[in-house]
Chain A
């Protein structure tokens, strides 16, 4: 029984818009009518974040992004993070859910002693998505923090924060644990863990991202509404021994474990 062909294509598009990106792609293969409906801008605009136009407008490539079909735009944002916020952040989408992912670049982080050339210097690396990364020369007091406004994140989502970094050959002091901390500025909710950036022998928690950087999870947090006007602070800190040889790309937040 050819049920779906008895519906107008607008109804088919509505149905598909209530499914998921993956289901929409499945549907597109099944029949010509489903392909038209499933590939439509109507459907993919529902999968994109509500404020996607405002976010894209901050990117230098906004005009080419705006000329794409919404489906192509969706996949583009999943695989190619765009630089926004005057170069301080990158934005991408998580493919299964369409939820927002951000990375705050090193210049956008609060790095204690970051402006003291004796301790940290700022370099340009070809495999970084940002203009500059922070390289640690030598420090005792390591304290790196990102502040992210919850209104920028997708509501009803458990996010995890990651320190994105590399370790240079002559690194020192990262075999011991750092204190990793997630807190909300407006409430008393705080979670604290410890992370090791340079485990010996190497352990799965510190892992390769496949883009020239490794990452370690700082912790996770839940965003309820996202318009609560709150700020999440994600930080790593260690102040009791000397350290060198850390290169910081940024701190990323993305939906946990989908």
Chain B
């Protein structure tokens, strides 16, 4: 009989998660309780993380093409959502999810659809410093 875990978001919504999905999280794995509150993570985001865990727990072979496509869809979200998902996945220590999400951000930076400068100080223009640094390194 598998255990059921209860994950509580910062806005007090509770998600019930089956053991196989829940144990994808190292944080949950090493917790002594089956009720875990995830601070700073709202229901909208926690729900998506639970969805990912459920999907990955039910799929036997994670190298399957279908799940790769599902994963690709999963990370194709707005950058604000992406960053919140990373925070949640990192807190819950779900390594594969963190890898997928951070890879997605990395790809966006490489494809120049996301600039690192936008992620920090949107009104701060550092382009000149950036060009000087690149030039000094021979790029």
Contact = CB atoms under 8 A, between A and B. Distances in A.
A6 interface: yes
A14 interface: yes
B107 A18 contact: yes
Interface of A: 1-8, 10-11, 14-23, 25-31, 33-34, 75, 78-79, 95-96
B87 A23 contact: no
Nearest to B103: A18
B138 to A, nearest CB: 6
B109 A23 contact: yes
Interface stretch (B21-29, B47-55, B118-126): B118-126
Q: Is the interface of B mostly helix, strand, loop or mixed?
A: helix
A102 to B, nearest CB: 20
A128 B137 CA distance: 25
Given A15-B102, A78-B138, A29 B126 contact: yes
A20 B130 CA distance: 15
B90 A95 contact: no
Interface string B68-107: 0000000000011001001100100000001100110111
Nearest to B134: A25
A96 B139 CA distance: 7
Given A16-B106, A30-B126, A30-B130, A3 B80 contact: yes
Contacts of A78: 138
B117 interface: yes
A183 B30 CA distance: 56
B116 A95 contact: no
Contact of A29 (B90, B98, B109, B129): B129
Interface residues of B, number: 29
Nearest to A96: B139
Contacts of B116: 4, 23, 26-27, 30, 34
Contact of B134 (A10, A22, A33): A22
20 contacts: A1-B80, A1-B122, A7-B90, A11-B87, A14-B99, A15-B102, A18-B107, A18-B110, A22-B134, A23-B109, A23-B116, A25-B134, A25-B137, A26-B130, A27-B109, A30-B117, A30-B121, A30-B126, A33-B120, A96-B139
B120 A14 contact: no
Contact of A6 (B87, B106, B110): B87
Contact of B110 (A2, A5, A23, A25): A23
A79 B110 CA distance: 24
B133 interface: yes
A22 B133 CA distance: 10
A237 to B, nearest CB: 36
Contacts of A16: 106, 109
